[in-house]
Amino acid sequence: MKDGIGIFLWKLSVALYLIANGVLGLSKWSGGDFMTIFNRLGFKGDLLNILVLAASVVALVAGIAILLEMFNIKLSFLDTLIFIIAIIWAAYVIVNIITWVTGGFDNFWYELQRLAVHIMVLASLLIASKRLG
């Protein structure tokens, strides 16, 4: 492990977050953040379910790939997966900001906290992506 402990923990947290969202998205009872993201982006019905499942698989594979790369097992497709998830997250952040600015949220501090978390996730994805970081 040539990176410092901070980089190691950051990569671990991104990997675990993606794996957890992938598993939650594949479960029938939750959908994880992807259900929320695609709902807020206006998708409904079967298309919503297909998008949630597809994004969940991408997130799960990306999370596992990040863990593998932490132990020097390189996967050529990892950057593409992270790029796809970053685009989804960027769209979600933009929709949240527009909704927030137009007065669509009831609890300012709660929504500010959620927005900040999603911006941190987006920033982590952008840093992790060789294409965007």
pLDDT at 130: 65
Nearest of 23, 6, 112 to residue 64 by alpha carbon: 23
Q: What is the pLDDT of residue 19?
A: 93
Q: For the chain, which ranges sit under pLDDT 50?
A: 133
Which helix (H) or strand (E) is 6 found in, with range? Answer: helix 5-26
Cα–Cα distance measured from residue 42 to residue 48, given in angstroms and rounded to the nearest whole number: 9
Task: Tell me the pTM.
Answer: 0.77
pLDDT on residue 131: 54
